Amino acid sequence: MSNSKEFAAGLKDGIPICLGYLAVSFAFGIQAVLSGLTVFEASAISLLNVTSAGQFAGLGVMTAGGTYIEMAAVQLVINLRYALMSAAISQKLDSSVGTGHRMGIAYGMTDEIFGISAARKGRLSPFYSYGAILISVFGWVLGTFLGAYSGQILPDRLISALGVALYGMFVAIVVPVAMEDKKILMAVLAGVILSTLFYYLPVLRDISAGMRIIIVTVIVAGAAAVIFPDIPGEKNE
Amino acid sequence: MQGNTYIYIFVMAAVTYLIRVLPLTLIRSEIRNKYIKAFLYYVPYVTLSVMTVPAIFYATNSMYAAMAGFAAALLLAVKGFKLMTVALGACSVVFVLEFFI
């Protein structure tokens, strides 16, 4: 496929992400202004970070008056999963794809864009990523702006309902893959059970959310890799 | 707020970008080890699931509404609906239920 066709395909696949992001970033914009940020600052955070959980956690550090080191540590822990996703996507790129393109793709490595990129058949074209990133980031920043601008006039009930938008998106990414591959399904169920145990059990529940996500992911994905090392799409070399 | 907002934003953005860019630029060749490959294959879906449960139950005013929203998202996703429909469907269920709870 030509570069412009790849770009168009990315744009098209990015439309639902854009709309999903509008809802989630709207909630972020509201929260940012409640935390004392200006509309411009809130929008700048969304444009420069493009993360959901990381941005919400960042607001927490700011309002608590945390140090810059603390901010860096929180972002590192919560967003470390992107390193795993980037490593996974590095395997879908042709080795001829240069550093510039790799740096471009990295900017938009979100859970959702990763999801559609990983689901792409064969090699991933950087132009597909650019299309998906362009429209998704547009939705993410626009939603933040609108939320920050109009947040205070929205009823609490609506803000509460928007709280599940992010998770609804995650469900929509995981379920189709889990239905297709029973090994993913088992790994996902194990992850959910372990995560719940970590959330409620004494001692374990003192672990921060970001750290819990990483620990459980490494344990479960590690165990799955050992138990089911044969994954689909692998030519047996 | 005690620190400078723009320095906070810069620190956030810099750390987040480095996390994303280093693996993509440093890993140039295909990983041959089948265990590492399998690990990278499972990671994203496990991460998303772990981020969702149990956090989703605390994301709204009422936990029961959140549970119903989660159930709605699962059902819609199993039925094959796309991202936006699933997300907005879950939100709608929460929105309507919270009138009664």
The pLDDT assigned to B59 comes to: 87
CB-nearest to A49 from B6, B13, B52 is B13
Q: What is the number of structural domains in chain B?
A: 1
Residues of A in contact with B65 (CB under 8 A): 160
Residues of B in contact with A120 (CB under 8 A): none
CB-nearest to B43 from A45, A200, A217 is A217
For chain A, 237 residues long, the average pLDDT of each consecutive 10-residue run is: 93 84 85 91 96 87 88 85 89 92 96 86 94 97 93 77 84 92 97 96 84 86 95 58
The pLDDT assigned to A43 comes to: 96
The SS3 of residue B15 is: helix
Query: Which residue on chain A is closest to B60 by alpha carbon?
Result: A160
CB-nearest to A86 from B24, B38, B94 is B24
Interface test with A, best of B21, B35, B36, B83 (most A CBs within 10 A): B83
Cβ of B60 and A169 within 8 Å?
A: no
The pLDDT assigned to A235 comes to: 44
Angle between helices A99-107 and A81-90 (to 10 degrees): 140
Question: How close is the nearest chain A Cα to the Cα of B14, in Å?
Answer: 8
Query: Which residue on chain A is closest to B101 by alpha carbon?
Result: A157
Residues of B in contact with A221 (CB under 8 A): 39, 42-43, 46
Interface test with B, best of A101, A170, A198, A201 (most B CBs within 10 A): A170
Look up residue A12 and give its two tokens. Answer: 């098209």
Could you tell me which residues come within 8 angstroms of residue A166 by beta carbon, excluding any fewer than 6 positions away? A24, A27, A52, B59, B87
Could you tell me which residues come within 8 angstroms of residue A148 by beta carbon, excluding any fewer than 6 positions away? A29, A30, A32, A33, A37, A38, A39, A42, A43
The pLDDT assigned to A215 comes to: 87
DSSP tag of A124: P
ipTM: 0.87
CB-nearest to A49 from B16, B53, B59 is B16
Low-confidence ranges of chain B (pLDDT < 50): none
Domain residue limits, chain A? 3-166, 181-237
- How far apart CA A84 and CA A111 sit, in angstroms, is 11
